Amino acid sequence: MSGVLVVGSQWGDEGKGKIIDAYAKQSAMVVRFQGGPNAGHTLVVDGKKTVLHLIPSGILHPNVQNVIASGVVIDPVSILKEIQGLKDTGLLTMAKQLHLSDSCTLILPFHKAIDAARESGAGKNKIGTTGKGVGPAYEDRSSRRALILRDLFAPNFKEKLQFVLEEKNALLKYVYKTDVFSEQKIYDEMMPIAEELASYRCADTSLLIHKSLNSGKEILFEGAQGTLLDIIHGTYPFVTSSNTVAGSCFTGCGIGPGSLKKVIGITKAYNTRVGEGPFPTEDHGEIGEYLRKVGNEFGSTTGRARRCGWLDLVALRFAIRVNGITNLALMKLDCLSDLEKIKVCTHYELDGMNIQDLPSSYEELQRVQPIYEELSGWQEDIRKARSLRDLPIRARDFVSYISQNVGRPVEMISVGPGREESLWVEH
């Protein structure tokens, strides 16, 4: 029981990278278990910004082993770019810092082309994907046509590629009326990349993680995206293609549920969403604009402006339920400073009914009216606060209000982007 799992409790972009970085310091291993390069974690250390998409945030600590477990989809081109960047900045110096599961699903160029073609032809049914090919790659895994990392090193890689490409090219040419791919070109691009990735291969990351768990070492499991983007439990169909809830950690890594001692739900002090889909507390006016500006709410993967609005406690209670969240980390509290009034959505109304729980249909979620509690804001700069006592009383009241409403302790509060701009709450 030495695992700590960090999950996003909203629609992603909650600021998971920062808390993962803080926990990574005391962990022997940091593990990514789902999603792919659609994720983007921004970390600021000594004023220097590092954006990670696939590589676990533990890479900023030289003694941490970083594992990309089998549930992740890997784009060889983009992971190599990330590896190169980390090598250039001196953060990745030894092969033992990074382990890529041989069973990871590969994202190949045609997956990105299919992702783009689908989105461009979808009209009002567009999902607003990150365009990284994540969905089409997961589809191939489910239909048992995916190529996996191990295949890149197999003598019959080209043969397997040819088999898969035949169907993809037909789809691209006849359904999406777009360019097809040459198997030789993909092969020629992939072979030098395979050579570079070879030293990070791991035949069985489940075994590697088990050994570490059995030795009592602390392991941090790093969720990507957020609860409401889960393929099954999220606001389907406006979701990503993987399970983003806590259970995904077990299937993605190949470990059992008894391995975790804590599930931390990372929660931004307000809500954001990027891409299409329902968002009950979205503010199209001044507040939405204000939060986007102070919170610098632009995607770290795509640069897209994020939709912004007040904190939604109905959605947070849902996230606590489906993930088994034990503790909360409250991010970007400093972005609410200066506001005279802060609103928090406590429940919804739908067709005259009071709704306490998140409706499971996205059509209903699109129609709900958020009902707010208005709390007093604070005007003090809180970025230098390092303990609860340093916070103005109204900021403390805001934190207690959330914690009491959802019934979970807040164990960490982030008051700025920097590593040191955090405060830990003793319970």
Shortest spacing between CB 76 and ligand IMP, in angstroms: 17
Q: Which of 41, 53, 111, 233 is catalytic?
A: 41
| Angle (nearest 5°) at CA 57 between 319 and 108 | 90
Q: Count Cβ neighbours within 10 Å for each residue of 8-37 and write b for 16 or more, e otherwise.
A: bbbbbbbbbbbbbbbbbeebbbbbbbbbbb
Q: Which of 13, 140, 283, 312 is catalytic?
A: 13
Shortest spacing between CB 142 and ligand IMP, in angstroms: 14
The DSSP bridge partners found for residue 99 are: 67
Shortest spacing between CB 305 and ligand IMP, in angstroms: 12
Shortest spacing between CB 154 and ligand IMP, in angstroms: 28
Known catalytic residue at 140: no
CA–CA separation, 54 and 100 (whole Å): 10
Residues 6+ apart with CB under 8 A from 315: 9, 10, 228, 271, 280, 358
User: Footprint of ligand IMP on this chain (CB under 6 A)?
Assistant: 11-13, 38-40, 127-130, 132, 134-135, 224-225, 229, 240-241, 274-275
Residue among 157 and 270 whose Cβ is closer to ligand IMP:
270
Residues 6+ apart with CB under 8 A from 418: 44, 45, 47
Beta strands in 320-391 (DSSP E): 327-331, 341-350, 353-355, 369-376
Residue among 135 and 265 whose Cβ is closer to ligand IMP:
135
- What are the C-alpha distances in Å from 236 to residues 223, 231, 302, 387? 19, 7, 21, 39
Shortest spacing between CB 149 and ligand IMP, in angstroms: 20
Known catalytic residue at 204: no
The DSSP bridge partners found for residue 68 are: 32, 100
Residues 6+ apart with CB under 8 A from 397: 375, 376
The catalytic site residues sit at 13, 41
